[in-house]
Structure 1
Amino acid sequence: MSKYIVTLIFISLIILSCKSPEARMPESVQTGSFLQESVKRNKKLNEKEQKQIKDIITSNPDKEYIASESGFWYYYNNKVENDTIQPEFGDVVEFDFNVSTLDGQQIYPEESRTYVMDKEELFTGLREGLKLMKPNEEVTFIFPSNKAFGYYGDDHKIGINVPLICEVKLKTITQNND
């Protein structure tokens, strides 16, 4: 009889252990709350930066600010009317520029740079701004943080979410003949 009971228990354990695993329900369900909070923060940040930029524009009525399609503002310090060449993909441009905060604190003093259009790293706003320029033009750009270095900064002097003013002088454009 004891063999019969031991065999019955053994067979029962085998049958019960073959049961497929059941999915467990999560303890708490969050439906995109992080994304919703992020959207709220970004909207607040954008409103704050837009107000700062509009204050700068209204405090300089002698400058003719132009709103770009890309979301930044600029004005010409020196505009070239008769030249029609503007940089395109692969062209090599040489330019001088300096970078400061909206309140005028200089971050990077004037430096010269050579850049191959859209083939090298350059922050979004400046890359798009250079495409609007002609040789020998001088332009002052005001970039909101999303067109500057955004959430990451530049790992040196520019922190996260810092809007910038860049004064740029485009010296030369060497066209790519490919």
Structure 2
Amino acid sequence: MKKALVLIAILALAACKSPEARYPVTQKSGSHISESIVKNQELLEKEIAQIEAVINKDSTSEYQSSQDGFWYTYNQKSKDSANLVKPEFGDVVEFDYSIKTLDGQVIYAEGEKATRTYAIDQEKLFSGLRQGLKLMKEGETVTFLFPSYKAYGYYGDKNKIGTNWPLKTKVTLIKIIEKEKIQNQQ
């Protein structure tokens, strides 16, 4: 009986030993990440060259480069000096937009997508358009040229926009409802 208790005590102590880490059979060097970085840099350079070609071809428009990595031109700029408000975090905007490839093929025509209501930086929207809306004032129409990483990127929109497509997007900002006005209505 004593031997059985001693044996149980030894087994119990052996079972309390902490697990040992298992090491991988093979270790990766990270070369795949390096290759991916090089591939993405080459893709970006190619897309920038395409965008610059579009800008150079369009002699009637004056494009500006944004700090966020895309280009834009005003089709209709607000001349109302009292209208200096640009949307900020939490403001709600209504806008219409159309999307084309850089060579002008229509992906989503004007009016094909319903007027969109969007709370700035609080809802899902591709990053270039999210940042572009913050540059606009009520009543303005702007054409944006987005490299693919600022548009729908690798995945596309899973409908009409494919993998790594740089886009030309025309946006009309219809209305801005400031956050404070929304809070006062509630």
TM-score above 0.5, yes or no: yes
- Give the match for residue 130 of structure 2: 127
- Give the match for residue 77 of structure 2: 79
Q: Distance in 1 between matches of 2:53 and 2:140?
A: 25
- Give the match for residue 145 of structure 1: 148
- Give the match for residue 56 of structure 1: 54
The counterpart of 2:164, out of the listed 161, 164, 168, is 161
Give, in angstroms, the shift of residue 43 of structure 1: 0.9
Tell me if 1:66 matches 2:69. no
- Give the match for residue 8 of structure 2: none
Q: Distance in 2 between matches of 1:164 and 1:25?
A: 46
TM-score (norm 2): 0.80
One-letter code aligned to 1:106: V
The counterpart of 2:44, out of the listed 27, 41, 46, is 46
Give, in angstroms, the shift of residue 151 of structure 1: 1.2
TM-score (norm 1): 0.83
Q: Distance in 2 between matches of 1:50 and 1:138?
A: 23
One-letter code aligned to 2:68: S
Counting aligned pairs with the same residue, the percent is: 53
Give, in angstroms, the shift of residue 59 of structure 1: 0.7
Deviates more, 1:23-32 or 1:96-105: 23-32
Closer/same/farther in 2, CA of residues 24 and 49 from structure 1, 3 Å limit: same
Give, in angstroms, the shift of residue 24 of structure 1: 8.5
CA-to-aligned-CA distance 1:57-88 (integer Å, 9 cap, x gap): 11112211000000000000011141201111
State the superposition RMSD in angstroms.
1.8
Closer/same/farther in 2, CA of residues 135 and 24 from structure 1, 3 Å limit: closer
Q: Distance in 1 between matches of 2:38 and 2:86?
A: 38
* SS of the residue 2:179 aligns to: coil
One-letter code aligned to 1:59: K
Q: Distance in 2 between matches of 1:24 and 1:171?
A: 60
Tell me if 1:88 matches 2:84. no
Segments of 5+ residues of structure 2 without an aligned counterpart are: 1-19
Q: Distance in 2 between matches of 1:155 and 1:99?
A: 15
Segments of 5+ residues of structure 1 without an aligned counterpart are: 1-21
CA-to-aligned-CA distance 1:15-56 (integer Å, 9 cap, x gap): xxxxxxx99986654311110110111011001101000101
Q: How many pairs were matched up? A: 158
